[in-house]
A and B are shown apart, each in its own frame.
Chain A
Protein backbone atom coordinates (compact mmCIF):
# COMPACT_ATOMS: atom_id res chain seq x y z
CA UNK A 1 0.00 0.00 0.00
CA UNK A 2 1.53 3.24 -1.15
CA UNK A 3 0.97 5.71 1.65
CA UNK A 4 2.53 8.68 -0.13
CA UNK A 5 1.86 9.25 -3.82
CA UNK A 6 4.22 11.53 -5.70
CA UNK A 7 3.97 13.03 -9.18
CA UNK A 8 5.30 13.47 -11.74
CA UNK A 9 7.85 10.69 -12.08
CA UNK A 10 10.07 12.93 -14.15
CA UNK A 11 10.15 16.62 -14.92
CA UNK A 12 12.10 18.70 -17.40
CA UNK A 13 12.29 22.45 -16.84
CA UNK A 14 14.18 25.23 -18.51
CA UNK A 15 16.69 27.22 -16.49
CA UNK A 16 14.90 30.00 -14.69
CA UNK A 17 11.57 28.21 -14.72
CA UNK A 18 9.45 26.92 -11.85
CA UNK A 19 9.57 23.24 -10.92
CA UNK A 20 6.51 21.85 -9.15
CA UNK A 21 6.30 18.42 -7.56
CA UNK A 22 3.14 17.18 -5.88
CA UNK A 23 2.48 14.65 -3.15
CA UNK A 24 -0.62 13.23 -1.53
CA UNK A 25 -0.91 11.15 1.60
CA UNK A 26 -3.55 8.96 3.18
CA UNK A 27 -2.74 8.59 6.84
CA UNK A 28 -4.03 11.57 8.82
CA UNK A 29 -1.68 10.63 11.66
CA UNK A 30 1.29 11.93 9.66
CA UNK A 31 2.55 15.12 11.24
CA UNK A 32 5.89 15.86 9.62
CA UNK A 33 6.44 16.34 5.89
CA UNK A 34 10.03 16.65 4.67
CA UNK A 35 11.41 16.89 1.16
CA UNK A 36 14.70 15.25 0.30
CA UNK A 37 17.07 15.84 -2.60
CA UNK A 38 19.24 13.02 -3.88
CA UNK A 39 22.15 13.18 -6.30
CA UNK A 40 23.51 10.04 -8.00
CA UNK A 41 25.71 8.01 -5.67
CA UNK A 42 24.66 9.98 -2.62
CA UNK A 43 22.15 9.57 0.13
CA UNK A 44 19.02 11.72 0.31
CA UNK A 45 19.64 15.10 1.91
CA UNK A 46 16.96 17.08 3.72
CA UNK A 47 15.91 20.08 1.67
CA UNK A 48 12.99 21.58 3.54
CA UNK A 49 10.25 20.32 5.86
CA UNK A 50 6.86 21.42 7.12
CA UNK A 51 4.52 20.54 9.95
CA UNK A 52 0.75 20.59 9.44
CA UNK A 53 0.14 23.66 11.56
CA UNK A 54 1.33 25.93 8.72
CA UNK A 55 0.21 26.11 5.11
CA UNK A 56 3.44 27.32 3.55
CA UNK A 57 7.14 27.39 4.27
CA UNK A 58 9.77 29.12 2.19
CA UNK A 59 13.53 28.73 2.28
CA UNK A 60 15.35 30.57 -0.45
CA UNK A 61 14.13 29.33 -3.82
CA UNK A 62 12.30 26.37 -2.25
CA UNK A 63 8.71 26.55 -1.01
CA UNK A 64 6.44 23.88 0.44
CA UNK A 65 2.69 24.41 0.13
CA UNK A 66 0.57 22.29 2.44
CA UNK A 67 -3.18 21.61 2.23
CA UNK A 68 -4.22 19.65 5.28
CA UNK A 69 -7.86 19.18 4.27
CA UNK A 70 -6.89 17.79 0.88
CA UNK A 71 -4.01 15.80 2.35
CA UNK A 72 -1.69 17.20 -0.27
CA UNK A 73 1.59 19.08 -0.27
CA UNK A 74 3.90 20.30 -2.97
CA UNK A 75 7.41 21.57 -3.55
CA UNK A 76 8.02 24.62 -5.70
CA UNK A 77 11.50 25.43 -6.92
CA UNK A 78 11.70 28.97 -8.20
CA UNK A 79 14.31 30.11 -10.72
CA UNK A 80 15.34 26.48 -11.31
CA UNK A 81 19.04 25.96 -12.03
CA UNK A 82 20.94 23.12 -13.73
CA UNK A 83 22.48 22.35 -10.32
CA UNK A 84 18.99 21.53 -9.07
CA UNK A 85 18.91 18.50 -11.38
CA UNK A 86 18.43 15.59 -8.99
CA UNK A 87 15.79 13.21 -7.70
CA UNK A 88 13.37 14.68 -5.19
CA UNK A 89 11.45 12.67 -2.62
CA UNK A 90 8.56 13.80 -0.52
CA UNK A 91 7.94 12.00 2.73
CA UNK A 92 5.42 11.85 5.52
CA UNK A 93 6.16 10.77 9.04
CA UNK A 94 4.50 9.89 12.29
CA UNK A 95 6.81 9.23 15.24
CA UNK A 96 9.78 8.46 13.03
CA UNK A 97 7.85 5.99 10.87
CA UNK A 98 8.69 7.79 7.64
CA UNK A 99 7.12 6.87 4.31
CA UNK A 100 8.62 8.14 1.08
CA UNK A 101 7.08 8.98 -2.25
CA UNK A 102 8.44 7.22 -5.32
CA UNK A 103 10.60 10.18 -6.32
CA UNK A 104 10.70 12.73 -9.12
CA UNK A 105 13.68 12.99 -11.41
CA UNK A 106 14.14 16.68 -12.17
CA UNK A 107 16.23 17.83 -15.11
CA UNK A 108 16.86 21.56 -15.51
CA UNK A 109 18.07 22.42 -18.99
CA UNK A 110 20.51 25.29 -19.45
Chain B
Protein backbone atom coordinates (compact mmCIF):
# COMPACT_ATOMS: atom_id res chain seq x y z
CA UNK B 1 0.00 0.00 0.00
CA UNK B 2 1.40 3.42 -0.92
CA UNK B 3 2.29 5.72 1.90
CA UNK B 4 1.79 9.46 2.07
CA UNK B 5 3.00 11.00 -1.18
CA UNK B 6 4.38 14.52 -1.30
CA UNK B 7 5.47 16.58 -4.26
CA UNK B 8 7.74 18.09 -5.21
CA UNK B 9 10.58 16.53 -3.17
CA UNK B 10 12.68 19.64 -3.63
CA UNK B 11 11.74 23.18 -4.54
CA UNK B 12 14.08 26.10 -5.07
CA UNK B 13 12.55 29.43 -5.90
CA UNK B 14 13.16 33.12 -5.53
CA UNK B 15 11.79 35.31 -2.84
CA UNK B 16 8.35 36.67 -3.66
CA UNK B 17 7.28 33.72 -5.76
CA UNK B 18 4.26 31.58 -4.98
CA UNK B 19 5.02 28.07 -3.76
CA UNK B 20 2.55 25.19 -3.75
CA UNK B 21 3.27 21.95 -1.94
CA UNK B 22 1.12 18.90 -2.56
CA UNK B 23 0.13 15.89 -0.53
CA UNK B 24 -1.76 12.69 -1.18
CA UNK B 25 -2.69 10.98 2.11
CA UNK B 26 -3.01 7.25 2.60
CA UNK B 27 -6.30 6.02 1.20
CA UNK B 28 -8.92 5.72 3.91
CA UNK B 29 -7.20 8.08 6.33
CA UNK B 30 -9.52 10.81 7.51
CA UNK B 31 -7.05 13.17 9.19
CA UNK B 32 -4.28 15.11 7.46
CA UNK B 33 -1.54 17.20 8.99
CA UNK B 34 1.01 19.70 7.69
CA UNK B 35 4.29 20.15 9.60
CA UNK B 36 7.37 22.28 9.12
CA UNK B 37 10.82 21.13 10.25
CA UNK B 38 13.77 23.45 10.80
CA UNK B 39 16.96 23.16 12.80
CA UNK B 40 15.97 26.08 14.98
CA UNK B 41 12.35 25.21 15.72
CA UNK B 42 12.20 21.45 15.18
CA UNK B 43 8.92 19.91 14.02
CA UNK B 44 5.99 22.29 14.16
CA UNK B 45 2.37 21.47 13.46
CA UNK B 46 1.00 24.04 11.01
CA UNK B 47 -2.56 22.88 10.39
CA UNK B 48 -4.66 19.76 10.43
CA UNK B 49 -7.82 18.60 8.72
CA UNK B 50 -10.41 16.03 9.66
CA UNK B 51 -12.73 14.77 6.93
CA UNK B 52 -11.38 17.53 4.65
CA UNK B 53 -12.33 20.27 7.12
CA UNK B 54 -9.60 22.45 8.72
CA UNK B 55 -9.76 21.88 12.45
CA UNK B 56 -6.87 23.92 13.82
CA UNK B 57 -4.72 26.35 11.86
CA UNK B 58 -3.21 28.12 14.85
CA UNK B 59 0.24 26.92 13.84
CA UNK B 60 0.18 28.64 10.48
CA UNK B 61 2.83 31.32 10.85
CA UNK B 62 1.32 34.13 8.79
CA UNK B 63 -1.40 35.02 6.33
CA UNK B 64 1.08 34.24 3.58
CA UNK B 65 0.44 30.57 4.36
CA UNK B 66 -2.76 28.82 3.34
CA UNK B 67 -3.84 25.20 3.12
CA UNK B 68 -6.71 23.46 1.40
CA UNK B 69 -8.10 19.97 1.21
CA UNK B 70 -10.60 19.90 -1.66
CA UNK B 71 -11.15 16.14 -1.34
CA UNK B 72 -10.10 13.15 0.73
CA UNK B 73 -7.13 12.33 -1.47
CA UNK B 74 -5.43 15.68 -1.95
CA UNK B 75 -4.19 18.66 0.02
CA UNK B 76 -2.08 21.70 -0.78
CA UNK B 77 -0.01 24.09 1.29
CA UNK B 78 0.58 27.41 -0.40
CA UNK B 79 2.99 30.21 0.48
CA UNK B 80 2.42 33.53 -1.26
CA UNK B 81 4.64 35.51 -1.34
CA UNK B 82 7.51 33.32 -0.20
CA UNK B 83 10.38 34.63 1.93
CA UNK B 84 13.86 33.20 2.69
CA UNK B 85 12.80 32.42 6.27
CA UNK B 86 10.21 29.98 4.90
CA UNK B 87 13.06 27.68 3.87
CA UNK B 88 12.47 24.37 5.64
CA UNK B 89 11.35 20.82 5.11
CA UNK B 90 7.57 20.56 4.97
CA UNK B 91 5.95 17.27 5.90
CA UNK B 92 2.48 16.00 5.34
CA UNK B 93 1.10 13.21 7.54
CA UNK B 94 -2.16 11.32 7.70
CA UNK B 95 -3.86 9.15 10.27
CA UNK B 96 -6.78 6.74 10.16
CA UNK B 97 -9.27 8.78 12.12
CA UNK B 98 -9.82 11.36 14.78
CA UNK B 99 -7.96 11.60 18.04
CA UNK B 100 -4.58 10.18 18.81
CA UNK B 101 -3.96 7.66 16.14
CA UNK B 102 -0.53 6.94 14.65
CA UNK B 103 0.45 9.55 12.10
CA UNK B 104 2.12 8.39 8.90
CA UNK B 105 4.52 10.90 7.38
CA UNK B 106 5.53 11.50 3.81
CA UNK B 107 9.18 12.06 2.92
CA UNK B 108 8.75 15.81 2.85
CA UNK B 109 9.39 18.71 0.51
CA UNK B 110 12.69 20.50 1.00
CA UNK B 111 11.96 24.14 0.22
CA UNK B 112 14.67 26.71 -0.39
CA UNK B 113 13.74 30.34 -0.92
CA UNK B 114 16.59 32.40 -2.33
Binding site for B on A (CB under 8 A): 31-32, 34, 36, 41-46, 49, 51, 89, 93-103
Contact = CB atoms under 8 A, between A and B. Distances in A.
Contacts, number: 55
Interface stretch (B11-19, B60-68, B72-80, B105-113): B105-113
Contact of A95 (B99, B105, B107): B99
Given A97-B45, A100-B44, 20 more contacts: A42-B108, A43-B4, A43-B91, A43-B93, A44-B43, A46-B102, A46-B103, A49-B102, A89-B43, A95-B100, A96-B31, A96-B33, A96-B55, A96-B98, A96-B99, A96-B100, A98-B33, A98-B45, A99-B45, A101-B42
A42 B50 contact: no
A32 B100 contact: yes
B105 A97 contact: no
27 contacts: A31-B100, A32-B100, A34-B103, A42-B107, A43-B4, A43-B91, A43-B93, A43-B105, A43-B106, A44-B91, A44-B105, A45-B105, A89-B42, A94-B100, A95-B98, A95-B99, A95-B100, A96-B31, A96-B50, A96-B95, A96-B101, A97-B45, A97-B48, A97-B56, A98-B103, A102-B42, A103-B43
